[in-house]
Amino acid sequence: MVICALIGLFSGSASALFLVALEWVTQIREYNNWIIWLLPLGGLLIGLVYHYYGASVVKGNNLLLEEYENPQQPIPFKMAPLVLIGTLITHLVGGSAGREGTAVQMGGAIADQFSNWFKLDQNDRKTILILGISAGFASVFGTPLAGALFALEIVYFCKINLKSVLLSFAVAYAAYYTVELWQVNHTHYSIPILAELNGTNLLWTIVVGIIFGLAALLFSRSAHFWSHLFSKYIQYAPIRPLIGGTILAIILFFIGTTKYIGLGIPEIVKAFSTPNDSYDFLLKILFTGFTLGAGFKGGEVTPLFFIGATLGSALSVVIPLPIALIVGMGFVAVFSGATHTPIACTVMGMELFGIESGIFIGIACVVAYFTSGSVGIYSSQIHKGPKHYLYQRIKKTKLDFF
């Protein structure tokens, strides 16, 4: 519990610093749009820093997952400052990225230092990594329950040590209250009107859940496609974000809008009350996948919120459910499908939008989870949940049939 308190304090403070700095660089970019032309320079700087100083931590979240599954070496502490600086540069110059990856990596790097200090064995080190992920996620989004569950689901869906469960919740609340202590605010959302709980509306919920799952599948495939494309054709890593940043800057100049870059929180908030264009979510998928695939730093989760919210907003024109409810379902359901974490996403939806919407959100998250394919945004994630066994059964059935 002492270690939990310390991890929560340090990770929460790091997230508070990150959130304040992120808001600062975002405001600078919004009031100085010419900075977008520095995308190539910012990309080159990130590429060079990681090439010469961050090769051991360049895998980011995937490194945390790999170390949990097969512990080898302690997570270098330099992961925290490097991903912090890289993400701030990405957002300053106009890349499309999120913040979850940064907070989780900082939390994981900070937490794993306690493994050395307290001479912990491999089993306890696994617990420490869960605590770091939990603290980072809970503090950056202001959702301690979802943060604790996300850390447990993301590492190993069906085999969790009871000790890890209790400590994950403890560290999540410690990190959450640390951010509160620093008086750093999170964005608030609401679903003012709910649909009547009947068969017709539940059927519509399943329909939109399928659509959100397909959007999650498209995002995951897109992110992996761009990453593979850049690494295949550009061998020298620092040049990838340089070329990617040049292409992004030119495209942003011609489309004449900045709503698809950065976190996109103003567009997310707007989606709860005003229908979006049908192509907004597609462009966010394209910009985010390209940005991260080129080698810029940041997370995927807030862009997933944007994709789900704007897709739900566009669907509200043809689906007879309240717009805010569909947007709220999309907000967490696309996230659920892309990360294979339906329980955490359901709880997150209830934390953000109120427990009254829990049935609709839960159904949408579970349906999106099962319809989003077997590949998520984290290539090193070990798929051991019910979807894994479902796909194995389907695969075996096909083989037996043919």
pLDDT per position as a tens digit, 245-300: 999 999 999 999 999 999 999 999 999 999 999 999 999 999 999 999 999 999 99
Mean pLDDT to the nearest integer, 194-221: 97
| Per-residue pLDDT tens over the stretch 77-92 | 999 999 999 999 999 9
Q: What is the pLDDT of residue 396?
A: 59
Q: What is the pLDDT of residue 385?
A: 53
Q: What is the pLDDT of residue 401?
A: 47
Beta bridge partners of 299: 98
Q: What is the pTM of this model?
A: 0.93
Q: What is the pLDDT of residue 375?
A: 85
Q: What is the pLDDT of residue 21?
A: 97
- The answer to whether residues 140 and 215 belong to one domain is no
Mean pLDDT to the nearest integer, 105-113: 96
Q: What is the pLDDT of residue 231?
A: 95
Phi and psi torsions of 236, nearest 5°? -85, 110
In a domain, 290, yes or no: yes
Q: Report which of residues 163 and 232 the model is more confident about.
A: 232
Task: Give yes or no for residue 384 having a pLDDT over 60.
Answer: no
- The answer to whether residues 297 and 348 belong to one domain is yes
In a domain, 339, yes or no: yes
* Mean of the per-residue pLDDT values of the chain: 92
Q: What is the pLDDT of residue 71?
A: 85
- The answer to whether residues 51 and 157 belong to one domain is yes
Phi and psi torsions of 190, nearest 5°? -150, 150
Mean pLDDT to the nearest integer, 288-314: 96
- The answer to whether residues 177 and 210 belong to one domain is no
**Distance from CA of residue 294 to its chain's centroid?**
17
- SS3 assignment, position 98: strand
User: For position 126, which CATH number holds?
Assistant: 1.10.3080.10
Beta bridge partners of 98: 299
Q: Which two tokens stand for residue 369?
A: 């989870």
Are the beta carbons of 140 and 103 closer than 8 angstroms? yes
- The answer to whether residues 164 and 235 belong to one domain is no
Number of structural domains (the chain) is 2
Closest CA to 331 of 278, 286, 267: 267
Q: Which two tokens stand for residue 282?
A: 């597609």
Task: Give yes or no for residue 158 having a pLDDT over 50.
Answer: no
Are the beta carbons of 15 and 106 closer than 8 angstroms? yes
Q: What is the pLDDT of residue 157?
A: 54
**Cα separation of 235 and 230, whole Å?**
8
Mean pLDDT to the nearest integer, 161-181: 91
Residue with tokens 């349906």: 367
Give the pLDDT band (50/70/90) at residue 122.
confident
Structural domain that includes position 344: 199-371
In a domain, 187, yes or no: no
Is 394 exposed, middle or buried (CB count within 10 Å of its CB: 0-12, 13-18, 19+)? exposed
In a domain, 394, yes or no: no
- The answer to whether residues 29 and 157 belong to one domain is yes
| Per-residue pLDDT tens over the stretch 208-228 | 999 999 999 999 999 999 999
Q: What is the pLDDT of residue 84?
A: 97
Closest CA to 246 of 32, 39, 45, 96: 39
In a domain, 21, yes or no: yes
Q: What is the pLDDT of residue 365?
A: 97
- The answer to whether residues 243 and 284 belong to one domain is yes
Task: Give yes or no for residue 346 having a pLDDT over 60.
Answer: yes
Are the beta carbons of 18 and 10 closer than 8 angstroms? no
Percent pLDDT > 70 in the chain is: 93
Q: What is the pLDDT of residue 382?
A: 60
In a domain, 147, yes or no: yes
- The answer to whether residues 66 and 171 belong to one domain is yes
